[in-house]
Amino acid sequence: MRGFTLAGVFVLWMNLTTGINIEFIPVYPLINQSVHLNVTEISGLVRSFCWYKGEDPSSQNLILCYSRQGNPPETHGPLYFPRVSSFPNASLEISKLHTEDQGYYTVQVVTRNDPKRRTAHLLVYATVTKPVIRSSTLYPIGNDKITLTCDTMYSEKIIWGRNGKIIPPGVIKSPDNRTITFPTIKPLDGGLYWCEAENFLSKITSDIYTLNVYCICGSTSDLNAGEIAGVIIGTLLVIVILVGGIFLLLFFKRRPHPVKEEPREEANKKQDPPIEYYNVQAMTRPYPANQESAYMDLQYASQDTYSDLQS
């Protein structure tokens, strides 16, 4: 889409005869909008006219023709499409413009005088879409080749930037500046990147893209003192956490489980009942119910036995 910087972008081409002109309304037609190809400087009453796509007014390039005496007045050619319509003053309108609508358009007008013809070049403009930065890989690895792409449409110019720093030396830019490539990316190449897309009508900047390098594959000479210290401290912390976790796991695994002691009263209840011992004496004679117990009988029944026990 070159030509934004040309004065009078709707430049008129190939004035084969004098007397008519074509102007675009609006001057800078935008995509998805309408444009009116207005024919001016016509002398006399328009009897008929035809529009062609291209510079050659031949039948295979015909879009439509209009004749005041025709029934219907408008007839269509092989290059007709529903988004075009004609007006009795020989003008043509194209609605919902596409980029494919760009190109040369020729009109041939018949009045009471000789036919007159004019060709004009239509350019379709669009505001640039908001750029989005995409990486060739989601997880860049040190020393690998990485490409960042500024994804946008309808741009004439793209600029890359990096917050607080310059673009690293050695980065390769494509001819249209749409991509930048790191042949061997390093940790110091990481950071916040942005791109800006611009054309004649608009200029839009992308959101910030954070480029991270997920491992340190080069020598420590690529790092500054703070980064080296951070790597060392991080490694030590990981080791301490692992060792501490293993120690706690072994400690709780080997620690004996405490035995729950029951209350003394409950323990006594669960013991075997006490054993009662009785002194059994063979009875030689019955005793009345009101007599003393057998134990008393043992004390006084036989004095000889008692004497023997004392001796």
Q: What is the CATH number of domain 132-221?
A: 2.60.40.10
Provide the pLDDT for residue 248: 79
Could you tell me if 28 and 201 are in contact, meaning their C-beta atoms sit under 8 angstroms apart? yes
The DSSP line for 173-221 is EPTTS-EEEETT--GGG-EEEEEEEE-SS-EEEPPPEEE---S--S-GG
**Please, which residues bridge with residue 39 across strands?**
22
Whole-number Cα distances in Å, 171 to 160, 185, 205 = 11, 9, 21
Region for 53 from its dihedrals, namely left if φ exceeds 0, alpha if ψ lies in -120 to 50, beta otherwise: beta
Provide the pLDDT for residue 239: 86
Peptide bond into 29 cis (omega under 30): no
Structure-token match 């006490």, residue found: 274
The pLDDT tens digits of the residues spanning 272-284 come to: 555 554 444 444 4
The counts of H helices and E strands in the chain are: 4, 18
Could you tell me if 157 and 197 are in contact, meaning their C-beta atoms sit under 8 angstroms apart? yes
Show the tokens assigned to 140: 């860049």
Could you tell me if 42 and 19 are in contact, meaning their C-beta atoms sit under 8 angstroms apart? yes
Provide the pLDDT for residue 145: 94
pLDDT tens track, the chain, 311 positions: 333 333 333 333 333 445 799 999 999 999 999 999 999 998 888 999 999 999 999 999 999 999 988 889 999 999 999 999 999 999 999 999 999 999 999 999 998 877 899 999 999 999 999 999 999 998 888 889 999 999 999 899 999 999 988 999 999 999 999 999 999 999 999 999 999 999 988 999 999 999 998 875 445 555 555 666 676 787 788 788 888 878 777 777 666 555 555 555 555 555 555 555 444 444 444 444 444 444 444 444 555 544 444 44
Provide the pLDDT for residue 286: 47
Could you tell me if 101 and 37 are in contact, meaning their C-beta atoms sit under 8 angstroms apart? no
Whole-number Cα distances in Å, 285 to 84, 96, 291, 303 = 147, 139, 12, 17
Could you tell me if 256 and 181 are in contact, meaning their C-beta atoms sit under 8 angstroms apart? no
Provide the pLDDT for residue 107: 96
Q: Which residues contact 115 (CB under 8 A, 6 or more apart)?
A: 17, 108, 109
Asked if the 12-122 domain carries CATH number 1.10.357.10, the reply is no
Provide the pLDDT for residue 270: 53
Provide the pLDDT for residue 62: 97
| 211 phi/psi in degrees, rounded to 5 | -100, 115
Provide the pLDDT for residue 70: 87
CB atoms < 10 A from the CB of 28, how many? 15
Could you tell me if 3 and 123 are in contact, meaning their C-beta atoms sit under 8 angstroms apart? yes
Could you tell me if 135 and 195 are in contact, meaning their C-beta atoms sit under 8 angstroms apart? no
Half-sphere exposure (Cβ direction) of 76: Cα atoms closer than 13 Å: 8
Structure-token match 């070049």, residue found: 121
Region for 10 from its dihedrals, namely left if φ exceeds 0, alpha if ψ lies in -120 to 50, beta otherwise: alpha
